[in-house]
Amino acid sequence: MRAIWDLKKNIRRDWMLLLIVLPGVVYFAVFCYGPMYGILMAFKDYNVSKGIWGSPWAGLKHFKELVNSVYFGRLVKNTFLLSIEQLFWSFPIPIAFALLLNELKHNKLKRVAQTAAYLPHFISAVVVVGILKDLLSSDGGVLTRLLQTFGVQPKNYFNLPEAFRTLYVGSGVWQEFGWNSIIYVAAISSIDQEMYESASLDGAGRWKKLVYITLPSIAPTIILLLVMNMGNMLNIGYEKVILMYNPATYSTADIFSTYVYRKGLLSAQYSFASAVGLANSIINVLILLGANFVARKATDTSIF
**What span, in angstroms and rounded, lies between the C-alpha atoms of 119 and 99?**
19
Closest to 85 in 3D by CA, of 188, 2, 172, 177: 172
User: In whole angstroms, how close is the CB of 51 to another protein at the nearest point?
Assistant: 7
Rounded to the nearest whole angstrom, what is the least distance from the CB of residue 83 to another protein in the complex? 22
Residues that bind another protein (CB under 8 A): 47-51, 65, 69-71, 133, 137-139, 155-156, 158-159, 161, 246-248, 250-251, 254, 262-263, 265-270, 272
What are the Cα distances from residue 275, in Å, to 60, 83, 132, 238, 269? Answer: 9, 20, 34, 17, 10
What type of residue is 169? V
- Show the DSSP H helices in the chain as ranges: 2-27, 51-54, 61-68, 72-90, 92-103, 107-118, 125-136, 142-149, 161-189, 193-201, 206-209, 215-231, 238-244, 250-253, 256-260, 270-299
Q: How far apart are the first and last CA of the chain?
A: 32
- Considering the complex, what minimum distance in angstroms separates the CB of residue 146 from another protein? 18
CA distance 290 to 253: 26
Name which of 72 and 89 has its Cβ closer to another protein.
72
Closest distance of CB 80 from another protein, Å: 20
Q: Which is nearer to another protein, 49 or 193 (CB)?
A: 49
Q: How far is the CB of 127 from another protein (least distance, A)?
A: 14
Q: Which is nearer to another protein, 46 or 177 (CB)?
A: 46
Q: Which is nearer to another protein, 185 or 275 (CB)?
A: 275
**Cβ-based nearer residue to another protein, 164 or 177:** 164
- HSE at residue 44, side-chain half, CA atoms within 13 A, is 16
- Of 133 and 296, the one with the shorter C-beta distance to another protein is 133
Supply the minimum distance, in Å, between the C-beta of residue 174 and another protein.
21
